[in-house]
Amino acid sequence: MLTKTRSSPVKPSAPEAIANTISEPLNEQSRVPLPNTPYAPEDVPAPGGTETRAEHFRRKALRGRLHGYAIAVVALVAVLIALAASNTAHVKVNWLIGSSRVSLVWLVLAAALLGWGLGSMLSARLHWRTRAPRPPHRTGS
């Protein structure tokens, strides 16, 4: 790994040689002021009251991900509104002991919620059944 030290340039021994003009260490990162965010509160100052480039990039990446999630949620809500608006017709639903007529959008919404709930319960059950074994419980003596 190259390290730079603060020194004057090396004088070339030959006229065609180029002087070493590196004057700052490679491992030092420029510092920028620390913002007041939940991930970097003012009451817990960083050394020198600044953040490194990596910390700054990490904070900006978090902001970008949050904006991406917000855009995805808005798009999902728009799709659900369009689905509801285009499926207002009533359809016949046959049950085991009878039938009924219901709006298609409510039928789709109820099926989605039922599927989500059953999937969540199944996932929790499988997680519980396949978790790592626990150490035996010791009674106090």
* pLDDT, tens digit, 9 for 90 and up, residues 89-137: 889 999 889 999 998 888 888 999 999 999 999 999 988 878 777 777 7
Does position 75 have pLDDT exceeding 80, yes or no?
A: yes
Residue type at position 77 = V
* pLDDT, tens digit, 9 for 90 and up, residues 9-66: 555 555 555 555 555 555 555 555 555 565 555 444 455 567 788 888 888 888 888 8
pLDDT of amino acid 88: 84
Sketch the domain layout of the chain as residue ranges: 31-86, 88-130
Higher pLDDT, 6 or 105: 105
- Average pLDDT for the chain: 75
pLDDT of amino acid 84: 82
Collect all residues with Cβ–Cβ distance below 8 Å to 48 and sequence separation of at least 6.
31
Regarding pTM above 0.75, the answer is no
Does position 5 have pLDDT exceeding 60, yes or no?
A: no
Smallest CA-to-CA distance from 112 within 141, 140, 79, 138 is with 79
The answer to whether 120 and 112 have CB atoms below 8 angstroms apart is no
